[in-house]
């Protein structure tokens, strides 16, 4: 059986908005996606954490940049990926500890926890390992985690982690965006 290359629908070029509410806390994530200049931009506000993050992807969903804002007009953290697995800060300093990571997980975000699903075209019952940069918005700590994504059904995935985040199952919509992450987040719109 071959992998399903189009296991997710194309995102609407005019963009879309999704909102998640924390199950055990008062966090609300409001995410806006839009396509411009041959790339995708994700702009997310998380109330309760009082942060905003911006992700920039290529048209094929390869992560290029991440900016995290807390209480300043300028980003508190700005990371860039050169497309070959090298990560650096805005000042050009390379961060070797996260070399080879292809995705990113902002703690407290429902979207970034599973954003790799959009580009994983694997069969039901198959797994794929993704090395991810993990951002702690409170401390601005940058670490790495290995996530194993297993496709349980057409729109149901299991995510196993090698860090201190819980493993979880997640149902996604036709675009590969999370609907609910049981015990963590519920999709409002």
The pLDDT assigned to 94 comes to 87
Whole-model pTM? Answer: 0.91
Overall size of the chain counted in residues: 189
The pLDDT assigned to 2 comes to 43
Q: Which residues pair with 127 in a beta bridge?
A: 150
The pLDDT assigned to 173 comes to 95
- Can you give the three-state secondary structure of the chain, one letter per residue? CCCCCCCCCCCCCCCEEEEEEECCCCCEEEEEEEEECCEEEEEEEEECCCEEEEEEEECCCCEEEEEEECCCCCCCEEEEECCCCCEEECCCCECHHHCCCCEEEECCCHHHHCHHHHHCCCCCCCEEEEEEEEEECCCCEEEEEEEEEEEEECCEEEEEECCCCCCEEEEECCCCCEEEECCCEEECC
The pLDDT assigned to 6 comes to 53
Distances (CA, A) of 81 to 4, 48, 68, 135, 158: 27, 28, 15, 14, 26
The residue ranges of the chain whose pLDDT is under 70 are: 1-6
């Amino acid at each position: 059986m071959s992998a399903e290359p189009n296991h997710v629908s194309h995102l609407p070029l005019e963009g879309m908005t999704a909102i998640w509410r924390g199950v055990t806390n008062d966090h609300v994530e409001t995410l806006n996606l839009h396509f411009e200049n041959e790339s995708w931009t994700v702009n997310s506000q998380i109330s309760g954490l009082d942060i905003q993050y911006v992700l920039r992807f290529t048209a094929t969903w390869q992560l290029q940049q991440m900016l995290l804002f807390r209480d300043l007009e300028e980003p508190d953290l700005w990371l860039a990926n050169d497309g070959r697995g090298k990560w650096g800060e805005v000042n050009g300093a390379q961060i070797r500890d996260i070399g080879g990571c292809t995705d990113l997980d902002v703690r407290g975000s429902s979207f970034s926890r599973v954003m790799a699903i959009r580009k994983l075209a694997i069969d039901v019952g198959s797994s794929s390992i993704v090395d991810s940069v993990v951002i702690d918005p409170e401390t601005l700590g940058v670490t790495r985690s290995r996530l194993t994504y297993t496709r349980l059904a057409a729109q149901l995935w299991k995510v196993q982690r090698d860090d201190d985040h819980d493993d979880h199952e997640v149902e996604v919509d036709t675009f590969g965006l999370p609907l609910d992450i049981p015990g963590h987040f519920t999709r409002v719109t």
